[in-house]
């Protein structure tokens, strides 16, 4: 065994997967062989969930009962709603509220006594988690506003239904399609920190609720989730300044400020997901307010062309455009990372199930660098 230390597991292969593949040099992302562009522009989030969980895109006869099952499992127990209200009143962080909600879901799981090795039961549990997360998140936000939760709409898909539960009004087609695309773009992305965390927990044969809760916890860290929130806060700062947005960017870079949403651990070119969200941001701008799209495109042009970041392998990532897209959809800024989790839960579940099909407990080693041969001194003599 090699003694080479790989901090952060950089470049270490720990598993094989048929779920997603990233080519960081070409800016290419695929889910089970389909490019992200094909899926985002032609499929629904429900279709992508089916693809990730079952290995193929569904036929009409397969998609209908699958979507119906998701719709029928959206309701959450009253105890969960009461807890969301308490957390909202206590001004809890949305990611922490989501973590609590998923832990509570397990208390009302109808198959809680299922064998951990029954992967079909695990998938059914995962489907329930995926269906309920939007309901719990929307309820939490409504309680923060001092309003009652909105019950799930019986005829809307997962993306449109979340927007409906958030505002109480059915979204228009552009908003619903845009948010559905955003969920597809975030559904999976290789063995990122939260996915790997879920896999590690799954490798112990802990239940899927534990694995998803672990994924949420990992995603809550600022080095993983949250960059789109940072981007939007920067855009608001630009908007509230007395400077032209180009002047603001020039001044910020001269002061050494780092503009969030640029650079990625894997991509050396522009994130393909950012390209798609940029298109949606432009479409939303044409239908409403254009300044957020103008700000992002100006920043990208300045940093890429005049500062040469793209040539250095530092290009816009998915967060650079998702923040302004969510803002244009009326989604509160501190809900961006929970929405990330709402989408990525599909990938977490898929990776846990895939790994458990040929399971081996994930147990890396650390190189010991502490002292040797310490002499023990009894307590009274210390």
Query: Which amino acids are annotated catalytic?
Result: 224, 264, 319
* Two tokens, residue 114: 């299922």
Helices (H), 74-207: 78-89, 94-105, 119-144, 158-167, 173-185, 193-203
Residue whose structure tokens are 């080479």: 4
**What are the residue ranges of helices labelled H in the chain?**
36-42, 45-54, 60-72, 78-89, 94-105, 119-144, 158-167, 173-185, 193-203, 208-219, 227-240, 245-254, 272-287, 291-301, 318-328, 336-356
Taking the CB of residue 5, how many other CB atoms lie within 10 A of it?
8
| Distance from C-alpha of 187 to C-alpha of 341, rounded to nearest angstrom | 9
List 29's β-bridge partners, or say none: 22
C-alpha span between 108 and 120 (Å, rounded)? 18
Beta bridge partners of 34: 31
Whole-angstrom Cα distance, residue 379 to residue 228?
52
Q: Which residues have C-beta within 8 Å of that of residue 248, sequence separation ≥ 6?
A: 237, 238, 241
Residues 19/29, Cβ–Cβ less than 8 Å: no
Contact by Cβ (8 Å): 296, 281: yes
**Which residues, 6 or more positions from 213, have their beta carbon under 8 angstroms from its beta carbon?**
99, 102, 103
Query: Could you identify the residue written with the tokens 């397969």?
Result: 62
Q: How far does the chain reach from its first CA to its final CA, in angstroms?
A: 40
């Amino acid at each position: 065994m090699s003694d080479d230390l790989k901090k952060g597991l950089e470049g270490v292969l720990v598993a094989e997967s048929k779920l997603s593949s990233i080519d960081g040099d070409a800016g290419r992302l695929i889910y089970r062989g389909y490019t992200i562009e094909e899926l985002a522009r032609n499929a629904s989030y429900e279709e992508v969930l089916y693809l990730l969980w079952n290995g193929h895109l569904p036929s009409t006869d397969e998609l209908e009962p699958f979507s119906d099952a998701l719709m029928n499992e959206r309701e959450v127990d009253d105890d969960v709603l009461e807890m969301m209200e308490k957390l909202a009143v206590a001004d809890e962080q949305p990611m922490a509220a989501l973590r609590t909600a998923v832990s509570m879901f397990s208390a009302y799981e109808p198959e809680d006594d299922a064998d951990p090795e029954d992967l079909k039961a695990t998938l059914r549990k995962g489907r329930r988690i995926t269906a309920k997360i939007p309901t719990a998140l929307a309820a939490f936000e409504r309680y923060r506003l001092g309003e009652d939760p909105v019950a799930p709409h019986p005829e809307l898909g997962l993306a449109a239904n979340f927007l409906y539960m958030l505002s109480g009004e059915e979204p228009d087609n552009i908003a619903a399609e845009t948010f559905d695309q955003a969920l597809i773009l975030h559904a999976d992305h290789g063995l990122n920190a939260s996915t790997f965390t879920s896999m590690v927990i799954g490798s112990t044969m802990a239940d899927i609720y534990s694995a998803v809760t672990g994924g949420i916890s990992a995603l809550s860290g600022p080095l993983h989730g949250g960059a789109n929130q940072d981007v939007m806060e920067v855009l608001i700062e630009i908007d509230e300044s007395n400077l032209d947005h180009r002047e603001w960017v020039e001044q910020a870079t001269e002061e050494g400020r780092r503009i969030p949403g640029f650079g990625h651990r894997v991509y050396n070119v522009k994130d393909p997901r950012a390209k798609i969200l940029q298109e949606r941001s432009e479409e939303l701008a044409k239908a409403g307010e254009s300044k957020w799209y103008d700000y992002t495109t100006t920043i990208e042009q300045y940093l890429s062309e005049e500062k040469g970041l793209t040539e250095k392998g530092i290009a816009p990532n998915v967060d650079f455009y998702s923040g302004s897209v969510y803002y244009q959809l009326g989604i509160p800024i501190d809900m961006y990372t929970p929405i990330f989790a709402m989408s990525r839960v599909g990938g977490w579940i898929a990776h846990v199930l895939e790994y458990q099909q040929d399971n081996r407990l994930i147990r890396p080693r650390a190189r010991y660098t502490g002292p040797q041969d310490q002499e023990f001194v009894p307590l009274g003599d210390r």
